[in-house]
Chain A
Amino acid sequence: MIALIPRTTPAPQWQLATPLLAVLATMLTGGLLFAIMGYDPVAAIRTIFWDPLFGPASGYSRPQLLVKAAPLILIASGLAIGFRAGIWNIGAEGQYIIGAITGAAVALAFYPLEAWWLFPLMVAAGMAGGWAWGMIPAMLRNWFGASEILVSLMLVYVAQRIAAWMAFGPMRNPQGMGFPGSRNLQQYPSAANPELIAGTGAHWGVVAAAVAVLGTWVLMSRHIRGFHIRAAGTAPRAARFAGVRPAVLVAFCLGLSGALAGAAGLFEVAGPAGQITDRIGVGYGFTAIIVAFLGRLHPVGILLAGLLLALTYIGGELAQLTMGLPAATVQVFQGMLLFFLLGFDLLTRFQIRRRVRA
């Protein structure tokens, strides 16, 4: 028989190895799935994981990597901090949508004014919107003990409907000939979030993602609040005796992750998406949860995991185009990745020994 002996601290070598194992297992299982569905498994895996970077069309797809990775990294950085403390913000998708709406609202309110301060103001508004949407579950948990998991999730559906309402109602483009959707911010220079260096895909959201990685690293490893967060996550009772106030942490973590998700939403609506539509939420908020876990809740890990998941998006689109794979394949891959990671995580927390009969 096999026995599992709990480790006192997670094994560092397995913490690095398990994400790689999970990716490998996902590729193998994914290949198997493709084979069952009647596709060439080797070609499918190569199309998803290799061609976007080095294939014939990589000149187009490589810049997309940063475009897709930026929101994921930005959102996951915030989520990971909460997850460390045992605070489960599952509603980043809603905070992302609200950030896009509040940010775009500022731009539309000043249209057609051209001013240098407009874009910074939009970023601030996007972050404030995301923050406020994140503070709803935080306050409801602090005041009434309501589960932040369920409240933040319900607010995703509410946010989606607010976006639809905005696209069909108050924010509809008056020159849009009756089509739903706001004005296109890409065509409004002061409000647009363009590519900063031609051919790289890098926009202000990419810069913000880099700042978020650095900032969360400093917070978690160099700041007393980061220490409080880690303490609250590993030993909540001990943390309370050490003077950590749970309510403050809940507000801080949900507010911060909400603000970062809101910023991601604003950068998206002012850049790649261009306008508020009823489909402004494309699931980055949920995929970011996978990014956070795959990145071991560590800023550098999240950077790498964000790039990998961005690759699956682009590779998935490519496979859809060239091989006719269903669009939802990407989502299945992402789900499998998380499954395998959580499974292999056993190795970081337990030692596996052969049980000796006494």
Chain B
Amino acid sequence: MMIDPISIFLVLLGAATPILFAALGELVAERAGVLNLGVEGMMITGALAGFAAAYGTGNPFLGFLVAAIAGAAISLLFAALTQVFLGNQVASGLALTLFGLGLAAMLGKPFEGVRAPVMPAGPLRINWIVWLGLVMVPALWWFLNRTRRGLILRAVGENHEAAHALGYNVRLTRLAAIAFGGAMAGVGGAFISIATVLQWTEGMTAGAGWIALAIVVFSNWTAPGVLAGAWLFGGVTVLQLRLQAAGVAVPVQLLSMAPYLATIIVLVAISARQKYSRRAGTGAPGSLGTNFHALR
């Protein structure tokens, strides 16, 4: 078999896309100061809703739209818990993941065993959604670093007290960031069911949401860093699949651990660099994971 670098790169792009979307969405939420551990739950919701819509209408693009709406909708449960009821963000995010996994499994039963409509290939034989993901990287970088709204969002994430004192609406900003994160996670999940696997199976996101969370740490909370992290993860996934296909003398189950082990190793390496680097501190937003309650 000839090893064609271009075709490998195309496979890598596809493998990286679900994580890229989810991680970009989580990046925006975290830059607004919200740690949403519900990514996995939002992804699986998007995977199911998108698949159902694509199957029902025969239009994959409509599927992605519905997936974004569904992801945003379910993220509002988390938003209500943390922004209105001031619940603990870690626990609320976990609740969203557990609930989303259950809900998708329950509602997904009728969609087992059917195939999604085939997507038309985009420019250069690359899926349209892959292109969209690649465009989102500079777009979000520009939004966060070069626009007024991006500045406000970062201010809210960096120091919510100060942002509030300046008259910015902390709660509304965070609500919008959470909903955006949900929509992105929904699209990421739908990419797995509509564009990669072409069918619905229970628990099909298989930890991709958690890997996305790790990639945000890896990226040091920057959009280009997220792209690098998603490609690294995509590379490990593709490599692992190639080794499986080549029949390497390592059990399949052990090879399939590779993406998770790679995530741990990368997370450790990045955390260590952030912990021991000469320049104190990390790119983590100052108010990350803490709730804001305005007394006045």
Binding site for B on A (CB under 8 A): 4, 6, 88, 90, 140, 143-147, 149-151, 153-158, 161-162, 164-165, 168-169, 278, 286, 289-290, 293, 326-336, 338-339, 342-343, 345-346, 349-350
Contact = CB atoms under 8 A, between A and B. Distances in A.
B244 interface: no
Given A6-B293, A154-B261, A169-B253, 18 more contacts: A4-B86, A6-B295, A140-B264, A144-B275, A150-B214, A151-B268, A158-B257, A286-B98, A290-B98, A327-B105, A331-B98, A332-B103, A339-B95, A342-B88, A343-B80, A343-B85, A345-B87, A346-B87
Interface in B39-61: none
Interface string B88-122: 10111011001111110110010000000000000
A154 B272 contact: no
A328 B202 contact: yes
Contacts of A334: 98, 102
Interface of A is mostly: helix
B91 A293 contact: yes
B95 A328 contact: no
A199 to B, nearest CB: 32
Contact of A151 (B102, B264, B275): B264
B75 interface: no
Contacts of A345: 85, 87
8 contacts: A4-B86, A143-B272, A146-B271, A151-B268, A161-B257, A326-B106, A328-B102, A338-B94
B89 to A, nearest CB: 10
Give the bracket for the number of chain B residues in contact with chain A: 35 or more
Contact of B101 (A156, A157, A331, A338): A331
B254 interface: yes
Query: Interface centre among B88, B91, B202, B254, by most A CB within 10 Å?
Result: B91
A156 B206 CA distance: 11
Contacts of B269: 144
Contact of A346 (B37, B85, B101): B85
Interface of B: 37, 77, 80-81, 85-88, 90-92, 94-95, 98-103, 105-106, 109, 202, 206-207, 210-211, 213-214, 217, 251, 253-254, 256-257, 260-261, 263-264, 267-269, 271-272, 274-275, 293, 295
B272 A331 contact: no
B272 A289 contact: no
A236 B189 CA distance: 37
A165 B94 contact: no
Contact of A144 (B92, B99, B106, B272): B272
Given A6-B293, A165-B254, A332 B102 contact: yes
A335 B102 contact: yes
Contact of B271 (A145, A156, A332, A336): A145
B264 A149 contact: no
B227 to A, nearest CB: 19
Given A154-B214, A157-B257, A339-B99, A328 B264 contact: no
A346 B86 contact: yes
A145 B275 contact: yes
Nearest to B273: A144
A33 to B, nearest CB: 9
Contacts of B106: 326, 328-329, 331-332
B268 A350 contact: no
B169 to A, nearest CB: 16
A338 B99 contact: yes
Given A145-B274, A161-B256, A161-B257, A343 B81 contact: yes
B91 A161 contact: no
Contacts of A335: 95, 98-103
A338 B85 CA distance: 13
A334 B105 CA distance: 13
B102 A149 contact: no
Given A147-B267, A329-B106, A153 B207 contact: yes
B99 to A, nearest CB: 3
Contacts of A88: 90
A350 B267 CA distance: 37
Contacts of A158: 257, 260-261
Contacts of B103: 328, 332, 335
B87 A149 contact: no
Nearest to B99: A335
A81 to B, nearest CB: 16
A338 B97 CA distance: 11
Contacts of B85: 342-343, 345-346
A144 B91 contact: no
Contact of A146 (B77, B213, B253, B267): B267
B293 A342 contact: no
Contacts of A290: 95, 98
